[in-house]
Amino acid sequence: MDIFGKARAGLEEIRRLRRWFHARPELSYREKETAGKAAEYLEGLGLPVTRPEGMTGLWADLEVPGAGETLLFRADMDALAMEEAPGPWKKGFLSQNPGAAHCCGHDAHMAMLLGAARLLASGEVPSRRNIRFLFQHAEEHPPGGALDLIEAGCLEGVDAAFGLHVLPSLPSGRFALLPGPFMAAADNFTITIEGKGGHAAMPHLLLDPVPAAAQVVAALQALVSRRTDPLEALVISVASIQGGSGTHNVIPSTVELKGTTRTLSREIRERIPGRLEKTARAAAAAQGCGARLNYEKGYPVLENDRDAYRRALEVTRSLFGEEGLLPDPKPLMGGEDFARYAEKVPALYAFLGVGAPEKGITAPNHAPDFDVDEEALPRGAAWFAGLAAL
């Protein structure tokens, strides 16, 4: 059975869906029009749709007589809170909603999963397993929509879960699969440096939190370079420094640092808050200031199940050959709340390359000029369909 050929024949339908979603991005927890479109399409395929009360996330079930296994396929629906850069690559489907843009690829994820649903629900690709098509809200906004949907029962009766994310940093059409830790735990922190403000001409009479904040930023990096095994992955990034009123001659009383931590190790993740707080207090105290830490845990480490990995690897090779696989893939330090499903059931998350330098498609996820090579999207639809049929 030529599953990829059947998926490729539906390219224009997948492209149409992707562009419809792309032009109408909606932020986390507000995906009403997006969810409505997905539900309408799934119901048009004859699939019963479950829409839990109070949320935009939903799922649809394909029941296969005699099937002894149920697989969950997940796509995320929300857009990023950012402006999209206009350019010829958008071809008339630029975001119509100010302050929102599908610059991560969730529009492509939905289009690929709906493409797979069409193949399987129509019987064009006969499924050997029951399939739950899950369209998740709020992936971009911790604590994330996965927790809501799990509480609503989306994993009831599910034996394994699979998800796919597009990456322009990978060659178009190549899949990256890896067992074990695949994406990082992603947490956020705020450190408030407390001093004593006043006239900038008389700093000796004050407790200046600005140089104290600079010392804290520098000291935090030593937690990576000198307090962590160099063979372990840890990122500590201060992404925002805010203090003062914007005037030239007033030293503020407080400076606020905001940042993120990323690690592939559960053990390191548990140690980070205590070490952040101790380091920040010591560095600030050296300047006569105090420091307070607020630490917010986000998504856990996403760990791919080895049996699910072997299944996905076999399906990918069967559909696309060895050339469809990215050699020597590496984990990504980005965070994903697909990890919530992987904590509950055997799961596999994969990347699909959508980069095409010859077409000018090179911008990374979350860049204002992000785009995908749409020619690769039928491969994603075929991958999901293959997991159901092979």
Find the angle CA(22)-CA(332)-CA(3) to the nearest 5 degrees.
Answer: 60
**Three-state SS at 76:** strand
Q: Residue 219 is encoded by which pair of tokens?
A: 């000291």
**Three-state SS at 251:** strand
Instruction: For residue 12, indicate whether it is catalytic.
Output: no
End-to-end CA, the chain: 10
Answer for the pair 62, 130: CB distance below 8 angstroms, yes or no.
Answer: yes
- Rounded to the nearest angstrom, the gap between the alpha carbon of residue 25 and the centroid of all alpha carbons in its chain is 16
Answer for the pair 166, 371: CB distance below 8 angstroms, yes or no.
Answer: no
Answer for the pair 199, 250: CB distance below 8 angstroms, yes or no.
Answer: yes
Torsion of CA 12, 14, 19, 20, to 10 degrees: 110
Q: Residue 199 is encoded by which pair of tokens?
A: 């006239």
Any alpha helices (H) in the chain, and if so which ranges? 3-9, 11-23, 32-44, 106-121, 145-152, 209-225, 266-285, 306-320, 339-342, 377-389
Q: Which of 26, 41, 299, 341 is catalytic?
A: 299
Strand 180-183, strand 250-251: pairing: unpaired
| Of 308, 347, 311, the residue nearest 146 (C-alpha) | 347
Answer for the pair 359, 372: CB distance below 8 angstroms, yes or no.
Answer: no
What is the helix (H) or strand (E) element at residue 179, kind and residue range? none
For residue 208, count CB atoms less than 10 angstroms from its CB and return exposed for 0-12, middle for 13-18, buried for 19 or more.
Answer: buried
Q: Which amino acid is at 120?
A: L
Instruction: For residue 374, indicate whether it is catalytic.
Output: yes
The rounded distance, in Å, linking the Cα atoms of 337 and 349 is 11
The rounded distance, in Å, linking the Cα atoms of 312 and 309 is 5
So which residues are the catalytic ones?
299, 374
